[in-house]
Amino acid sequence: MRIREAVRALVIDPDDRVLLVRFEFPNTGTHWATPGGGVEPGETDHQALRRELEEELGLGGVTIGPQIWTRLHIIPFISGHHDGQRERIYLVRTAAFEPQPRLSWEALNAEYVFELRWWRADELEASLPMVPARFIEHFTALRRHGPPKQPIDVGI
């Protein structure tokens, strides 16, 4: 099986808002997820995550916190190059900012990215198509108890 290695960031501001990305995939539809992407050959997780945050959000110079979650998602990629993705999700706390991607919206749309939005915890609804599916549960636990001692497998 060809598994793509990827990193993501749970980006949280001082008001406990979380920054999420709206993806529109032709095969699976709309879902909201944390920003991030594939780890390129020769990159460390932190290097890849910094690159992805710059490209998708225009967010640079951040301190990457602990790895909090893991996720393995088996689904054929539209490109046909991978059969799934193994994700490592890191906590990134930052000042509030207005996302200004370094990539053009045309380039982001080509990667199925269509919106960047800050969400307050009380705005997140169980009916939102979230990835992982139990995102709200895991985000709530993190807000209440802080980062886990070991990364938690958050499922699909």
For residue 155, tell me if it sits in a domain.
no
Instruction: Give the DSSP per-residue string, 36-86.
Output: EEEPPTT--HHHHHHHHHHHHH---SPPP--EEEEEEEE---TTSS-SEEE
For residue 156, tell me if it sits in a domain.
no
**Residue 34 belongs to a domain with what CATH number?**
3.90.79.10
- Beta carbons within 8 Å of 98's beta carbon, 6+ residues apart: none
For residue 153, tell me if it sits in a domain.
no
Instruction: Specify burial of residue 41 (Cβ count, 10 A radius: 0-12, 13-18, 19+).
Output: exposed
* pLDDT for res 126: 75
For residue 138, tell me if it sits in a domain.
yes
For residue 93, tell me if it sits in a domain.
yes
Number of domains in the chain: 1
At 136 the three-state DSSP class reads: helix
Q: Each residue's pLDDT tens digit in the chain (156 positions)?
A: 888 899 999 999 999 999 999 999 888 889 999 999 999 999 999 999 999 999 999 999 999 999 999 999 877 656 666 677 899 999 999 999 999 999 999 999 999 999 999 999 999 987 789 999 999 999 999 999 999 999 999 998
Instruction: Note down the domain range covering 19.
Output: 3-148
At 127 the three-state DSSP class reads: coil
For residue 154, tell me if it sits in a domain.
no
* pLDDT for res 128: 87
For residue 36, tell me if it sits in a domain.
yes
